[in-house]
Amino acid sequence: MDMLRLGTTGMMVSRLCLGCMTYGDPKWRSWVLPEAESEPFFRQAVEAGINFFDTADVYSIGVSEEITGRMLKKFTKRSETVLATKVYNPMGSGPNRRGLSRKHIMAAIDASLKRLGTDYIDLYQIHRYDPNTPVEETLEALNDVVRAGKALYIGASSMYAWQFMDALHRQKANGWARFVAMQNHYNLVYREEEREMLPLCRANGIGVIPWSPLARGFLAGNRLKQGWGDTERAKTDDIAQRMYYQPGDFTIAERVAELAQKRGARAASVALAWLLARPGVTAPIIGASKPGHFDDALAALKISLSADEMAFLEEPYKPHPVLGHS
C-alpha cells in the first residue's frame, strides 16, 4: 500500500481510507453492519496495509466510533493508525448538542475520545460549516483542542471555497492550528469541486480526502433507472436518489462499465482509479460492506488510465447544483 503525506504535514496516510459509516447500528440505517459483521472488514483493511480510518460521532449516533475503536485495538497498534472523526451533526435533541459552538466542540471531543477508547484523535474534522456560530469561535475552540493534545491535526468537510479560504486566513492571522485536510464530495458524477475547492487546496497544501468516491455505490454499475437497485442500500438510500440518478449520471456510469469491460476490470475499480489520478487527491474514503468491495478498491491502485480513457469517462459530464454542503 502506497503512503502519502497528508497535505503538507509529516503524517503519512495510506492511499485509501476506510470509511466507517457502514459499521454501527442497523437501527440508524438498514444497510449498516453490526459489530460482528463489521470485524472482517477491519481485518481486511489492516492486512491490505490501510492505516487511515474515518468515522464521525453522528454515524449510528456514536456506535460507529465505539466499534471502530474496538476493532482498531484488536487488529493494529494505535501508533500505527491514523484515526479521523468529525463533529457538527446533532447528537441529541438539546440545542447545544449540535453545531460548532465552543460548548459543543469541547463536549463532543471528549465524548468521541471516550467512545473511540483513545487519548487523542489524529485528524479532528468539522463535518459541515456552521452558519449559526461565529467562525472565529469555532476556529479558536479547535485550536484549543489541538493545544490540549486531544487532536493532532484538524480538517474540514464540504463547504464553499470562500468559506474555507476565510477560515484558513483567520487561522493564519491568529496563529491558530490550521486545517490540513478537506473531506469533500467528489466523484465522476459530481465534479463541481474542480471549479474552486480543489485548486484552492492544491495552492495551499491541503490534503484532499473525498467522500462518496463511488457516488454512494452509483458508479459500481448496479443502480437502475427504475427501482433504484437490488441491494439493501440501493433500495433504501434516498440521499443517493436525491443526489444522483440524473440521465447524464447514468451515461457516465455506462461509460465506466464499458471501459471496465474492455480492461477486464470492475466498474468500481475504474471509477476509483479515475479519482486516484486526479491532481491533489490524497486518499478517497472507501466504503466496504461486502468482501469484494476491498478487492475492487485495491485493484484500482493498479489501474493507470490513459489520457484518452480519462477523457472518455469525463466527456458526458453535465454541471450539477451544489450537493453535499448540508
Residues annotated as part of the active site? 59
Crossing angle, helix 135-147 and helix 161-174, to 10 degrees?
60
Taking alpha carbons only, the member of 174, 182, 181 closest to residue 144 is 174
Nearest to 200 by CA among 279, 285, 88, 311: 279
Task: Give CA separation, 180 vs 51, 203, 223, in Å.
Answer: 18, 12, 35
Instruction: List the Cα angle 173/192/303 in 5-degree steps.
Output: 105
CA distance 63 to 27: 11
Give me 45's grid cell: 483493511
Phi then psi for 139, rounded to 5 degrees? -65, -40
At 60, list the grid cell. 449510528
Residue 161 backbone phi and psi in degrees, to 5: -60, -35
